[in-house]
């Protein structure tokens, strides 16, 4: 109970994967490996090796660089793992510390990314931007990071969810009038100490940097970095992970711009 970690029996996982009719699936577990439990992950991946299926999962970076990390990643790749989505959490190290996420991320994020790719596993990154410690330059740095690492990246404006430590920190700065429908990762939810970082500026920077990362050139450029050991499944999966998101982001951006025009019209005198 409480903070105890409880794992499902590995034979149950193997049974469930065997029941999947498709040859490729997504493991929706939030974290397929935990630091301190690498051997458990190795045992699970070894048991899944005979499934003959390809899959994508979600993990964290810190266990990748532990002493057992290489064996764990080899076992994951041999089990059919093509891609892992991991949290980058923040662009700047200062913001990472402010979110108290540096403990779970580890001390060398870029080396962890290279290690994953060296073991034949493609990488997609989640990250948050627009926090009170961030600047407009951090939106630009996210694009530069995607280019430097050769990964796909999926941003969110920072969301201080209720019940979290981040929410406690941000409580004095929240826009109280914004309801739950705004907690989507596409809206600025709190005051920023820099007067230039208005909600509109942050939201527009979010859309523009997201679409820049999802440009056709960058999507195709990322394909060059997808490990060849996963061809063609990993390359197809890469396109599936980015093209629909780009379409949705474009639609959302156009809706956002229309909403801004409507707001400004209401603010006009007379």
3-class DSSP state for residue 145? helix
Query: In this structure, is residue 5 part of a structural domain?
Result: no
Query: In this structure, is residue 65 part of a structural domain?
Result: yes
Query: In this structure, is residue 2 part of a structural domain?
Result: no
Query: Degrees (nearest 5) of the Cα angle 134, 186, 87?
Result: 60
The pLDDT of residue 34 is 87
The pLDDT of residue 84 is 96
Contacts of 24 (CB under 8 A, 6+ apart): 53, 54, 55, 56, 82, 233, 237
Number of helical (H) and strand (E) elements in the chain, helices listed first: 11, 5
Query: In this structure, is residue 3 part of a structural domain?
Result: no
- Give the Cβ contact number of residue 193 at 10 Å: 8
- Give the Cβ contact number of residue 135 at 10 Å: 17
CATH code for position 204: 3.80.30.20
The backbone torsions φ and ψ at residue 13, rounded to the nearest 5 degrees and listed phi first, read -65, -45
The dihedral formed by the CA atoms of 135, 137, 143 and 147, expressed in degrees to the nearest 10 = -130
Cis peptide before 232 (omega within 30 of 0): yes
Cβ 203 vs Cβ 148: under 8 Å: no
Query: What's the CA gap between 154 and 245, in Å, rounded?
Result: 9
Query: Degrees (nearest 5) of the Cα angle 188, 191, 195?
Result: 105
Domain housing 27? 10-267
The length of the chain in residues reads 270
Query: In this structure, is residue 4 part of a structural domain?
Result: no
The pLDDT of residue 102 is 62
Element (H, E) at 206: helix 199-213
When divided into structural domains, the chain yields a total of 1
List the chain pLDDT tens, one digit each, 270 residues: 566 778 899 999 999 999 999 999 999 887 899 888 999 999 999 999 989 999 999 999 999 999 999 999 999 999 999 999 999 988 887 777 777 666 556 568 999 999 999 999 999 999 999 999 999 999 999 999 999 998 999 999 999 999 999 999 999 999 999 999 999 999 999 999 999 999 999 999 999 999 999 999 999 999 999 999 999 999 999 999 999 999 999 999 999 999 999 888 888 876
The pLDDT of residue 215 is 96
The pLDDT of residue 23 is 93
The pLDDT of residue 101 is 67
The pLDDT of residue 126 is 92
């Amino acid at each position: 109970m409480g903070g105890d970690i409880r794992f499902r029996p590995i034979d149950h996982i193997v049974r469930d994967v065997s029941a999947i009719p498709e040859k490729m699936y997504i493991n929706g577990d939030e974290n397929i490996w935990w630091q301190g439990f690498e051997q458990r992950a190795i045992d699970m991946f070894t048991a899944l090796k005979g499934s003959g299926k390809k899959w994508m999962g979600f993990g964290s970076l810190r266990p990748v660089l532990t002493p057992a990390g290489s064996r764990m990643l080899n076992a994951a790749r041999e089990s059919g793992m093509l891609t892992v989505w991991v949290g980058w959490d923040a662009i700047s190290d200062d913001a990472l510390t402010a979110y108290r996420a540096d403990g779970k991320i580890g001390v060398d994020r870029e080396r962890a990314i290279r290690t994953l790719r060296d073991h034949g596993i493609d990488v997609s990154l989640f990250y948050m931007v627009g926090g009170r410690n961030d600047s407009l330059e951090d939106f630009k740095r996210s694009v530069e990071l995607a280019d430097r690492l050769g990964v796909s990246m999926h941003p969110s404006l920072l969301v201080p969810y209720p019940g979290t430590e981040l929410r406690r920190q941000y409580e004095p700065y929240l826009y109280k009038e914004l309801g739950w429908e705004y907690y989507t990762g596409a809206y600025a939810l709190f005051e920023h100490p820099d007067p230039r970082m208005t909600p509109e500026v942050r939201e527009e920077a979010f859309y523009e940097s997201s679409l820049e990362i999802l440009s056709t050139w960058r999507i195709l450029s990322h394909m060059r970095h997808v490990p060849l050991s996963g061809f063609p499944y990993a390359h197809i999966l890469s396109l599936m992970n980015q093209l629909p998101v780009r379409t949705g982001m474009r639609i959302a951006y156009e809706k956002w711009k229309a909403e801004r025009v409507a707001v400004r019209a209401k603010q006009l005198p007379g």
